[in-house]
Chain A
Amino acid sequence: MNVDLSGRSTSAVTTQVGSQARLGMRNQRRVQTLVVYALLAALSVLFILPFMWMVSTSLKESQDVFSYPPSFFPNSFIWQNYPRGWTLLPFNTFLTNSIIVTTANVVGNLVSCSLVAFGFARLRARGRNILFLALLATLMIPREVTIVPRFLLFSQLGMVNTLWPLILPAWFGYAFFIFLLRQFFMTIPTELDDAARIDGASTFRIFFEIILPLSKPALGTVAIFAFIGNWSNLLDPLIYIRSQELYTLALGLNLFRGQNFTQFNMLMAVSIITLIPVLTVFFLSQRLFVQGVTLTGMGGR
């Protein structure tokens, strides 16, 4: 009892003594929080402003786009810019091509990269380390080094001006995704494999029925990265596609720009339409995004 009381009293004393300092600290923390919020708010405006500008331009009358001084808000909202811009060029065809290319890329990347990643994560073999380093080294090779020979290869195969050069490479693995998936597969306990193996499961079944179902978040991340990367890919279509009926959205936008450069309002409207799938995917799967970035980002540690 005694000990208990004395203990209580000492703590009371320290509280009283410390209260002055603590009050100062609390104020300091409050000021700090305020500063942080002010900075965050100001920076958010800076990051959002270009988007707002884009939307506002897309709704303006043609003559208002280049009014002086520039006005941030449109005088009247011309929603017509959206359908009119879309039909100025065969954007429905471009959309179809983009969907074909992007889907083929996403599926191809998922299939090839998960197989390869499983090999690197789970199967032991001579030469594995050196091959893995070779895989990582391909991440360092600038695309510019290989675009000429790649072009020659596809032209030898008679695939220039077809969608194949945009699709085929995805079916043979991509180092960044393989690395991401391997990192994830390695976090799955090997006991699960061993147990399945004792039950007589083949390696492929372990891959297909144990590893893959447990890796849905990582696979989702790969799918999203592949989707976004391909949806806005301009370089490969620019090199390989000639005829307009094979144009992707990115290429179509570029063409649109050349022909109707003054019609910034419609150009912006169509640009926004092409961004909608990306933004939708992003908002639906933000968590996966951040996870994926983290997984590979930390891989460098």
Chain B
Amino acid sequence: MAVEQRVNQTVARPMDKPKMGKMARREEREFYLFIALWIIGFLAFDAGPILASFVISFTNWSMMSPPAWVGALNFQRLMTDPLFYTALWNSLYFGVGSVGLGLIVSFLLALLLNQKVLGISLFRTVFYLPSVVSGIAVAILWIMILHQDFGLINSVLAWFGIKGPGWLVQPQWAKPALILMSLWGAGGSMVIYLAGLQSVPQHLYEAASIDGAGPWMKFRNVTVPMMSPVIFYNLIVGFIASLQGFVLVLIMTNGGPANATLMFGLYIYRVAFQFFQMGYASALAWILLVVIMIITVLQFLGAKYWVFYEGEVAK
């Protein structure tokens, strides 16, 4: 919605002559030339595949033999597939947990760094760095950190006389362990929050002070509303990203123990590239797309009640 606003603002330059001039027509031709690469990519790698996967989802296809039309069979199978529900639940659990806690951690870090402390850039580096190093090296590192007997976390817990759980071995601890790991990367959204905090107009705080507001009131009534668009952006992007990421899980647990970390993306990957059931994998993928769309729409609808856009004050 915000984006739409911005688009409209920038497009508002006049182009409304009833008949387009030669210049305008040339500009239009040039526009399409400049974006031609993306159009090809969009058709070949985004729109085409989405439509294709919709068609494939109604077939049975192992790639060895030609696809066979099976109607809605894949979707019927999906309704009775316990692993489908497990994967959906796991992904939502991880998504809500990692995005929710990530929001709190990164926002708190940003608030701390916004206190005009000396050495802010050093601290920013320290918090931001883990979010830059991703991929397999991190997965391996965290396998070690979360190890039941020799891991870093349980060693630290042992100092305090606490016997830590088998993080990646016990089904009830596996998802919390992954969420904990995701918090290590909170620095990425911290930087966005920090930038947002620094652009909150100072005079709003001064006005609040004059009205006798304490620190909490200022936070509640100035910081949070002014930051709500940034928080909203991070929620949307973070949730979509969390539903997609499964490579770390693939390496660390491969969905185990007892399917406790079988994420939706991992399930699709498994059905497609290990069982070679392209039709069923496409059906699952489409359901994921629908789920993401529903959640995004719900977030946009909910945003009305808590996201504050400066430009909308007049309404």
A positions within 8 Å CB-CB of B: 32-33, 36-37, 39-40, 43-44, 47-51, 53-54, 57, 65-70, 72, 112, 115-116, 118-120, 123-126, 128-129, 131-136, 138-153, 155, 169, 171-173, 178, 186, 203, 207, 228, 231-235, 238-239, 250, 253-254, 257, 264, 267-268, 271-272, 274-275, 278-279, 282-283, 286, 289-290, 293-294, 297-301
Contacts and interface: CB of A to CB of B under 8 A. Distances in A.
B177 interface: no
Contacts of A178: 38
B229 A119 contact: no
Interface residues of B, number: 105
B34 A124 contact: no
Given A47-B184, A54-B141, A290-B124, A146 B45 contact: yes
Contact of B244 (A65, A143, A299, A300): A143
> Chain A interface mostly helix, strand, loop or mixed?
helix
Interface stretch (B23-31, B74-82, B165-173, B203-211): B23-31
B112 A144 contact: no
Contact of B44 (A43, A120, A123, A172): A172
Most buried by B among A39, A186, A233, A298: A298
Given A49-B152, A141-B50, A148-B56, 4 more contacts: A142-B288, A257-B140, A289-B128, A298-B199
Given A239-B273, A272-B137, A50 B130 contact: yes
B32 interface: yes
B104 interface: no
A3 to B, nearest CB: 28
A83 to B, nearest CB: 18
Given A145-B53, A173-B41, A128 B141 contact: no
A50 B145 contact: yes
Given A36-B117, A294-B195, A47 B127 contact: yes
Contacts of B155: 69-70, 72
B133 A275 contact: yes
A151 B278 CA distance: 10
Nearest to B55: A149
B233 A300 contact: yes
Contact of A140 (B184, B281, B292): B292
Interface string B273-301: 10000100110011011001100100000
B269 to A, nearest CB: 7
Please name the 3 residue pairs, one residue from A and one from B, whose CB atoms are nearest each other, closest first: A172-B41, A232-B135, A300-B233
Nearest to B192: A297
A297 B144 contact: no
B115 interface: yes
Interface in B159-196: 184, 187-188, 191-192, 195-196
A300 B230 CA distance: 7
B265 interface: yes
A297 B197 CA distance: 12
Given A68-B149, A148-B56, A257-B251, A136 B3 contact: yes
A53 B141 contact: yes
B134 A145 contact: no
B129 interface: yes
Given A116-B35, A129-B7, A146-B50, A43 B285 contact: no
A149 B27 contact: no
A131 B35 contact: yes
Interface string B104-131: 0000010011010100010111111110
